[in-house]
Amino acid sequence: MAKRHAFNSLEFHDEAHKENLTELKSLLSETELNVNGMNVRMGDTFGCAAIPNQSEKAKNEIKEAIKIAEDLGARALHIMSGVTEYNQTSIKTFVSNLKFALDNSKILILIEPVCEEQLPGYFLKNIDQAAAIINKIDHPRLKIMFDCYHIYRESGDLVKNFADHADKIGHIQIAAAENRAEPFPGALDYSDILPEFKRLGYKGAFGCEYRPSSSTEGGLAWRDPFFKMENRE
């Protein structure tokens, strides 16, 4: 479906953990679709890398995810922190597990702030917390997953937040501010925002992580202005 509707790459949550990897690799090769990234196992706690009493489980799941991601040729792996209190113990646990991921991989490692509205109690809530973790570890392959919906809801102005942390951002996801639906112009107008991200140095893909108002294919008209923009360029 992604190929049929003119996408040139894709990303996963943790679906790849449940698939036959030989068949999945064959399908990716057949469709010539690159994988921008994938998640570690999400589970009931949406990852567990920052949960102090689950560090051994986190490391096992990180090793498993790295193997799958590198086998699929994924550009990045998202290490999910999990639902847990934000305190010094959980920060130390998260830092330790992220270092483990970096030491045992060759790909980009991403962390993502998730707004309280969408996932109450998630460890990383805002971009400043994510930036502080990255500063603490100081590794060139550790970056922020900049989900525009989450950043907007929790931290405000997208362009300002991007500019403030541009050197730390490894991937961008988009959605409307209204109901996290298709990114048609509304409170967020991506026809203005995405060129600004590019001007500020972003060269990666834009992941379409939104909840369709009806069917996915029925709402794809939001892309038309961007196709026209690319043709003019």
Residues that are catalytic: 112, 209
Contacts for 43 with CB less than 8 Å, ≥ 6 apart: none
Strands, E assignment, the chain: 9-11, 34-39, 76-78, 108-111, 142-147, 169-174, 206-208
Contact 90, 50 (CB under 8 A): yes
CA end-to-end span of the chain, whole Å? 26
Could you give the CA distance from residue 93 to residue 101 in angstroms, rounded to a whole number?
Answer: 12
Q: Whole-angstrom Cα distance, residue 49 to residue 51? A: 6
Structure tokens at 41: 């196992």
CB 37 within 8 Å of CB 206: no
In this structure, how many other beta carbons lie within 10 angstroms of the beta carbon of residue 32? 9
Backbone phi, then psi, for 66, in 5-degree steps? Answer: -60, -45
